[in-house]
């Protein structure tokens, strides 16, 4: 007679019952084995209980090249490697879509690719606040605004978990620079921490209940995050109700105080290898009565819960299918690039180009030929090795084939296209790369010189930017009529650039970050010596005034403002309606307006809702993003756009009360096309 199936293997049982059953079967030593990685990417298997290896894979915009066993990102990968996966646009471009539904689809596709390589957890989404555009990992992150970042992160998490793959939302929290990231102390006041740096993560936890979070390398106010009990256990787990597991960043525990502090703080799994969670020392502590077993069991319980959530003990046939580099994933990558590219400038309506009227074009710049996935390995742990990657030159060549001649002489061409930007590099110039911050903001000498030499010969010059963070354009921006921000647009970047330039796709992306004019406008930039000599401490002196909040407060004009982006069509805003003049503590306000496509081309507009606190007493930003909607409209079509406001949307974190409070008084409602292009103003009063 067959033995009865244990509860933890019974898919019909409640997940918490299964967790408790498995926890009760583990020996103390087995628990110790499960709480740390072995082999750099997973906690070990335990054969006695059929506990499988819990595999993790890097991301967050595609599965790292593990399929052929080629090891961690950064290792040179042969051209014929079978480890090919879909290369999606990077995080900053995902946020530029302002389309959570699209990012949820991406999360589901990424989950399928993660399962296809035999992993259970995807190390993403990456959603640290873009405090400084010269941070080497800005390209991976979403936004300078916690609401936009949180909404995008929540969408990616929902997509991943819909296919039963665990996300690992990172880097929690305040990993805002790469210089000395393993040891640097971020000094942040409580209000700033809560309103800016924790808020996006809070949105993700409360809206999508993620199964994993990664603690960052850095210290916060003197304590490493991996052993920061206030951050991990009290806020994340207890206050927010986070039910998943906390994983350390790789090697983040090396400089911490030790086992007891990590366990009590709520670090559930130490990665990538066993640095602090030493099994023999844990046994000694238990025998001596020094081991925090209650906390430890809670930590292990969370890891087991995650294993059950992803189906590690379920019938494989009952789990979602793993699929990698499929046609629909490639099309999704292309769609994300289409919606995330941003038209920054279009004087005299140079764009879109008419393929039937142009005879010759010329293409310049090394960025027209770089394959950022295959050749540049993605800037660190986010490396993706796609089976193909269409460069800008290839995309334009394919588009023009048989219709337009591609020439080398700028004077001979009807239109010139110059590709400039950044690279995934560690060199002195700096680039978009994990482990190092950029040392300069502009593009140096050669790239601006190239742009200006071309535009001098041909006034019909278009600049295409390929990069993962803003850079200085002061040497050429005013000289060219058109600028397209293409970001690191994934494996279909060249086709999408061609489609946008020739009007097959109407650009609809908008900036998720402010674009400073020069380095002198970046109030959070590290000094040259801070990036060369390991910096020990960074004081967040600006408080809550980062990004557009800073530029508004100082009346500084960035080159391009937060939320900005052009279209080939025009949109008309009308008929703003606010449901009441007063908002009460448990009530809500309904806000609506009409948006109409008054142009001749189908397109999409991103309507943004900001709130301005008019009350005296404490310093507040002039405006803060509180809602957004991306609306697709055919030429001539009109739609109604609706928002909802509650008291939580006007609350600030009061350090004296150690709580979120909404103040009685007057507030302005601002609805517009960007943070600086406000179409409507209205107001309401809040009363308790």
The pLDDT value recorded for residue 686 is: 96
pLDDT at residue 74, as a whole number:
35
Please state the CATH superfamily assignment of the domain spanning residues 571-687 in this structure. Answer: Immunoglobulins (2.60.40.10)
CA quadruple 596, 600, 601, 602: dihedral positive or negative?
positive
Q: What distances in angstroms separate CA 180 from CA 177, 258, 538, 572, one per listed residue?
A: 8, 21, 11, 48
E strand intervals along 614-647: 624-633, 638-646
Per-residue pLDDT at 383: 87
- pLDDT over 70, % of the chain: 95
Structure confidence at residue 431 (pLDDT): 84
C-alpha to C-alpha distance for 504 and 512, rounded to whole angstroms: 24
Beta bridge partners of 483: 345, 463
How crowded is the C-beta side of 146, counted as CA atoms within 13 Å? 21
Q: What is the pLDDT of residue 455?
A: 98
| Over residues 438-451, mean pLDDT | 94
Q: 444-458, 614-628, 633-647, 668-682 — which is least confidently predicted?
A: 614-628
- The CA distances from residue 622 to 284, 515, 550, 579, in Å, are 57, 18, 9, 23
| Model confidence at 614: pLDDT above 60 | yes
pLDDT at 40: 63
Assign domain 26-66+83-313 one CATH number from 1.10.357.10, 3.40.190.10, 3.20.20.300, 1.20.120.330: 3.20.20.300
Tell me whether strands 212-215 and 169-172 are parallel, antiparallel or unpaired: parallel
CB 165 within 8 A of CB 114: yes
Is domain 336-554 annotated with CATH 3.40.50.1700? yes
pLDDT value at position 378?
64
Q: Work out the average pLDDT over 367-392.
A: 85
What is the pLDDT at residue 300?
98
pLDDT, greater one: 630 or 425 = 630
Catalytic annotation, residues = 249
Q: How confident is the model at residue 598 (pLDDT cuts 50, 70, 90)?
A: very high
CB atoms within 10 A of CB 314: 14
Position 611 scores a pLDDT of: 98
pLDDT digits (tens, 9 = 90+) for 334-363: 999 999 999 999 999 999 999 999 999 999
Residue 51 DSSP class: B
Residue 574: the pLDDT is: 98
What does the pLDDT read at residue 1?
Answer: 41
State if pTM tops 0.75.
yes
- Domain segments of the chain as ranges: 26-66+83-313, 336-554, 571-687
Task: State what percent of residues in the chain have pLDDT above 90.
Answer: 88
Please give the DSSP secondary-structure letter assigned to residue 45: P
**Phi, psi for 289 (deg, rounded to 5):** 75, 20
User: What is the arithmetic mean of pLDDT over 465-487?
Assistant: 98
**What pLDDT is recorded for position 500?**
98
User: Is the pLDDT confidence value at 570 over 80?
Assistant: yes
Average pLDDT over residues 35-63: 90
Assigned token pair, 107: 């999360």
User: pLDDT band at 533, cuts 50/70/90?
Assistant: confident
Q: How far apart are CA 44 and CA 12, in angstroms?
A: 26
pLDDT confidence of residue 430? 64
Contact 666, 609 (CB under 8 A): no
Confidence at residue 280, expressed as pLDDT on a 0 to 100 scale:
97
pLDDT tens digits, one per residue of 166-179: 999 999 999 998 98
Residue whose C-alpha is closest to residue 277's, from 259, 291, 260: 259
Q: What is the mean pLDDT of residues 224-229?
A: 98
Structure tokens at 214: 């990664």
Q: Whose structure tokens read 């238990």?
A: 286
Tell which residue, 623, 636, 633, has the closest CA to residue 676: 623
Per the CB < 8 A criterion, the answer to whether 120 and 54 are in contact is yes
Residue 323 has pLDDT above 60, yes or no: yes
CB atoms within 10 A of CB 240: 17
Given this model, what pLDDT does residue 71 score?
37
Please state, in angstroms and rounded to a whole number, the distance separating the CA atoms of residues 597 and 619. 38
Asked whether residue 81 carries a pLDDT value surpassing 60, the answer given is: no
Q: If DSSP states are collapsed to H, E and C, what string results for 352-392?
A: CCCCCCCCEEEEECHHHCCCCCCCCHHHCCCCCCCCCCCCH
Q: How does residue 78 score in pLDDT terms, banded at 50, 70 and 90?
A: very low
Contact 300, 469 (CB under 8 A): no
CA gyration radius for the chain?
A: 26
* Local confidence band at 77 (pLDDT 50, 70, 90 cut-offs): very low
pLDDT of 79 higher than 50: no
**What is the chain's mean pLDDT, rounded?**
94
Residue 76 confidence class, pLDDT cut points 50, 70, 90:
very low
Asked if residue 467 has pLDDT above 90, the reply is yes
Is pLDDT at 426 greater than 90 in this prediction?
no
Q: Locate 131 and state its tokens.
A: 């405090």
Please state the rounded mean pLDDT for residues 294-302.
98
Report residue 372's pLDDT band, with 50, 70 and 90 as the boundaries.
confident
pLDDT at 376 over 90: no
Confidence bin at 374 (pLDDT 50/70/90): low
For the segment 477-486, what is each residue's pLDDT rounded down to a tens digit? 999 999 999 9
């Amino acid at each position: 007679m067959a033995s009865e199936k244990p509860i933890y293997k019974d898919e019909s049982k409640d997940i918490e019952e299964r967790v408790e059953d498995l926890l009760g079967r583990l020996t103390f030593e087995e628990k110790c084995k499960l709480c740390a990685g072995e082999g750099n990417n997973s906690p070990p298997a335990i054969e006695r209980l059929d506990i499988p290896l819990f595999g993790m894979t890097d991301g967050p915009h595609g599965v790292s090249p593990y399929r052929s066993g080629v090891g961690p990102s950064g290792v040179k990968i042969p051209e014929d490697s079978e480890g090919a996966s879909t290369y999606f646009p990077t995080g900053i471009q995902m946020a530029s879509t302002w389309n959570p539904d699209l990012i949820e689809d991406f999360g589901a596709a990424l989950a399928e690719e993660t399962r296809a390589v035999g992993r259970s957890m995807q190390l993403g989404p990456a959603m640290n606040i873009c405090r400084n555009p010269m941070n080497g990992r800005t390209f991976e992150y979403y936004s300078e605004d916690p609401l936009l970042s949180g909404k995008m992160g929540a969408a990616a998490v929902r997509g991943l978990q819909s296919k039963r793959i665990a996300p690992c939302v990172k880097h929690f929290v305040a990993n805002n620079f790469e210089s000395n990231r393993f040891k640097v102390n971020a000094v942040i006041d409580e209000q700033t921490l809560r309103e800016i740096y924790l808020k996006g993560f809070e949105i993700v936890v409360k809206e999508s209940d993620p199964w994993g979070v990664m603690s960052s390398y850095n210290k916060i106010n003197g304590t490493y995050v991996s052993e920061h009990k206030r951050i991990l256990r009290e806020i994340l787990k207890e206050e927010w109700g986070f039910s998943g597991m906390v994983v350390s960043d790789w090697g983040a525990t090396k400089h911490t105080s030790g086992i007891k502090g990590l366990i009590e703080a709520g670090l559930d799994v130490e990665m990538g290898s066993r640095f602090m969670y030493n099994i023999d020392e844990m046994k000694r502590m238990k025998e001596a009565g020094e081991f925090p077993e209650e906390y430890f069991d809670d930590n292990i319980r969370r890891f087991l819960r995650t294993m059950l959530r992803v189906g590690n003990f379920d019938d494989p046939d009952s789990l979602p299918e793993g699929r990698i580099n499929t046609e629909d994933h490639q099309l999704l990558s292309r769609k994300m690039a289409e919606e995330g590219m941003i038209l920054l400038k279009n004087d005299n309506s140079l764009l879109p180009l008419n393929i039937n009227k142009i005879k010759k074009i010329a293409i310049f710049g090394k960025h027209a030929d770089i394959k950022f996935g295959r050749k540049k390995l993605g800037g660190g742990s986010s490396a993706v090795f796609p089976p193909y990657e269409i460069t800008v030159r290839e995309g334009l060549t394919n588009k023009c084939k048989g219709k337009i001649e591609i020439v080398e002489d700028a004077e001979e061409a009807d239109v010139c296209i110059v590709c400039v930007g950044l690279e995934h590099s560690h060199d002195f110039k700096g680039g978009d790369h994990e482990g190092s911050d950029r040392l300069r903001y502009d593009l140096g000498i050669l790239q601006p010189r190239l742009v200006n030499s071309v535009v001098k010969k041909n006034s019909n010059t278009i600049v295409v930017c390929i990069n993962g963070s803003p850079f200085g354009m002061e040497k050429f921006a005013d000289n060219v009529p058109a600028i397209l921000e293409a970001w690191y647009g994934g494996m279909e970047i060249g086709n999408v650039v061609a489609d946008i330039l020739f009007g097959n796709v109407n650009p609809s992306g908008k900036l998720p970050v402010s674009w400073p004019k020069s380095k002198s406008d970046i109030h959070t930039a590290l000094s040259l010596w801070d990036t060369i000599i390991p910096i020990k401490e960074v004081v967040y002196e600006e408080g809550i005034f980062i990004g557009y909040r800073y530029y508004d407060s100082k009346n500084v004009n960035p080159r391009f403002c937060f939320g900005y982006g052009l279209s080939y069509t025009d949109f008309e805003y009308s008929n703003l309606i606010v449901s009441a003049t007063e908002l009460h503590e448990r009530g809500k306000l309904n806000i609506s307006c009409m948006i109409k496509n008054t142009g001749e081309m189908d397109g999409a507009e991103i309507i943004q809702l900001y709130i301005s606190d008019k009350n005296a007493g404490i310093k507040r930003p002039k405006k803060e993003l509180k809602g957004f909607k991306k609306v697709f409209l055919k030429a001539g079509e009109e739609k109604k756009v609706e928002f909802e406001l509650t008291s939580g949307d006007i609350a600030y974190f009061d350090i004296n009360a150690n709580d979120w409070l909404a103040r009685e008084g007057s507030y302005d409602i601002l609805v517009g096309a960007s943070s600086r292009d406000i179409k409507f103003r209205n107001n309401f009063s809040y009363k308790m």
